[in-house]
Amino acid sequence: MTGKTLLVINPIAGKGVAKRHLMDIVTRLSEGGCTVTVLPTQKGSATADRIASLLSVEKAFDMVVACGGDGTLNITVEGMARSGKKTPLGYIPLGSTNDFATSLGISSDIPAAIDTILKGTPVPHDLGNFNGRRFAYVACCGAFADTSYNTSQSMKNLLGHTAYLINAIPSLASIRPLNVTISADGETIQGKYIFCGVGNTTVMAGTVKLGNETVNFNDGKFELLLIRFPKDLIEAGRIATKLLAGSIDDPTISIRQVKCCRILSAEPVGWSLDGEDGGKSKISTISVEKSAIDILK
């Protein structure tokens, strides 16, 4: 796809790869027929606010390209949703792990990703809504929820996906149980869990992997994945072993599809949205916005 392009770029993503290759990215897009406007990311909600403002102008842009990690994608999606315009979205994944891009089959190789944008077709994709804030692929709480934003950038740059595992697995021994009641599409689920995730991805929180056959990105449903609080250290060890092996085949792990769920907890629970800090809440409503965005694939 070509035309007026808003390039949202995180300069420090992927060991600073985005910053070093900015001119190459702009040149490749320009040579492909795009007129590029560059928007570097800022802290807080400033980037999403700016995206919403820019897109609200009639025929301002033909497409948006997010260049960075999953956090950059999250900010971009939020801004696009706020604009009320369904502008096609391209993605150049330059983060440390790029879990969501892997789920979508988008290459982390810059030329290949740009080729996908220029030659790709907009494909409808569901978005999540967490208490009014959009997310691209996962909202989660519990043992691994803060792993992404509590793992140092230097560690991510050095070890990539392994950094998440190193930070996440030890938390199984010290995590407090999530005592929650979940209302999901008319079903009530109650219990103690170490992890709760609602997502549209084959990887949650950088550690929990779902099979490709499980996930449909545009069916109006997200996967609700729960890991029950282990009854003893033996069970905790077994869970850790399964997760390290990329498996969710365990009696403590359950998965179901939901359109909407409401999660109540006895005390405020910290959430992660696409690997970013989603704040704490006692009442969390998560819903699916079907076909809310078109992603170039």
**Known catalytic residue: 276?**
yes
Distance of CA 79 to the CA centre of its chain: 15
- Interior CA angle at 207 toward 127 and 151, to 5°? 95
CB 26 within 8 A of CB 62: no
Token pair for 233: 């250290």
Half-sphere exposure (Cβ direction) of 110: Cα atoms closer than 13 Å: 20
* Rounded alpha-carbon distances, angstroms, from residue 164 to 60, 68, 159, 178: 39, 18, 9, 21
Q: Which of 223, 235, 267, 276 is catalytic?
A: 276
CB 137 within 8 A of CB 199: yes
Residues 6+ apart with CB under 8 A from 246: 209
Q: Would you list the DSSP string of 181-197?
A: EEEETTEEEEEEEEEEE
Half-sphere exposure (Cβ direction) of 279: Cα atoms closer than 13 Å: 9
Q: Annotated active-site positions, please? A: 276
